[in-house]
Amino acid sequence: MIIINNMKEFINYHLIVKFVNIKFTIRIKIKNFLNKIQGVKEMSEELAINLAELERDKVYEEVKKRAEEGEDPLQILNVCREGITIVGEKFQTGEYFLFEMILAGQIFEEVVSILEPYQAKATSVESLGKVVLATLKGDIHDLGKNIFATLLVANGFEVFDLGVDVDLILLVEKVKEVQPDIVGFSALITSVFDPMKEAVNLLEENGLRSKIKLMVGGGVTTPAVKEFLGADFQTTDAYEGVEFCKKIMGVK
């Protein structure tokens, strides 16, 4: 009996120990998992904050490290997008100017190029929307358009930047092919007003105008230019432009 009792105790003891061990192991595993999640979150926040603080060397170092460790490049990119969102918020409150947005955009562009070799490992994600951008024929200025394009990409849009001095037929063909949600014209000189109007007419003739939202931006544009083109939106402010695109796509 004693043996039996002892056996019982032995079994009970071992069962309890095992149970405790399992509990302990599970607890440890959960704790590790939570730590890991928390760690990832903390790291993410730090990476995003570093980007928002324009600490480019720290950002590049962290992005390289995480990509080499096998993290999904899109996940890394999304963290950097969080940084761009913080920059946008700071811009909105007046803490940041276009200056900081340009710098953040440059960091983001470099991050994209660092991650390029790792893209095969990337999971696919849906973009917020498609935007075709162009500076039309006769105008070769691209500074504002490039800044805007970078910010759109950083905010999750798929951008088809046709460049400068863009032929109107090429624009129409590209809009047919890409079927964008938004088309944006950039203008710095008044000589491009008429080509922009011609482009709008061509989009209408091809049954494309009603399928897109049309925006126009650039130093020489005003509400009068919006009216002249029958555009949906006009701005000289890249951030406002991104906000318009988000609104069109129903993103807050």
Partner 1 sequence: MSMTPRERVSAALKLEKPDRVPVVPNLTPISCAHLLGWSQAKIALDTNAALESMIKVYDEFGPFDGVNPVVCCTTNSLLLQGHKVKIPGKNLPEDVPWQMVEEEILKFEDYDKILELGATKFWTNELVYRTSDEIKTQRDVTKLLHAEISFYLKSFKEWYKRDTVPMIGGGGSHPFFVLSLCRSMVKFSEDLYYHPDKVESVIASMAKEYIPIWIKICKATGVKMAFFCEERASATIYPLKIFERFWWPYTKQMVEELWANGIRSWFHLDTCWDKNLPYFLELPKGSAVIALDGTTDIFKAKEVLGGHLCIAGDVHPSLLSLGTPEEVEAYCKRLIDEVGGDGGFILSSGCEVPFACKPENLRIMVETGKNYELSKQ
Half-sphere CA count of 193, side-chain side, radius 13 A: 13
Half-sphere CA count of 15, side-chain side, radius 13 A: 6
The H or E element spanning position 92 is helix 73-93
Torsion of CA 175, 241, 190, 132, to 10 degrees: -10
What tokens does 106 get? Answer: 């440059």
CA distance 25 to 204: 67
Q: Which is nearer to partner 1, 32 or 236 (CB)?
A: 236
What tokens does 246 get? Answer: 């988000």
Do 180 and 132 contact (CB within 8 A), yes or no?
A: yes
Do 81 and 153 contact (CB within 8 A), yes or no?
A: no
Contacts with partner 1 by CB under 8 A lie at 54, 56, 96-100, 102-103, 106, 137-141, 143, 146-147, 165, 189-191, 193-194, 219-222, 224-225, 228, 236
CB of 91 to partner 1, least distance (A): 11
Q: Which is nearer to partner 1, 141 or 209 (CB)?
A: 141
Q: Which is nearer to partner 1, 80 or 196 (CB)?
A: 196
Q: Which is nearer to partner 1, 118 or 193 (CB)?
A: 193
Q: Which is nearer to partner 1, 147 or 162 (CB)?
A: 147
Least Cα distance to 217 among 127, 169, 130, 146 occurs for 146
Q: Which is nearer to partner 1, 180 or 195 (CB)?
A: 195
Instruction: Give me the residue label for tokens 């470099």.
Output: 110
What tokens does 153 get? Answer: 């990409």
Q: Which is nearer to partner 1, 57 or 68 (CB)?
A: 57
Q: List CB contacts of 200: < 8 A, sequence separation 6 or more.
A: 209, 214, 229, 230, 231
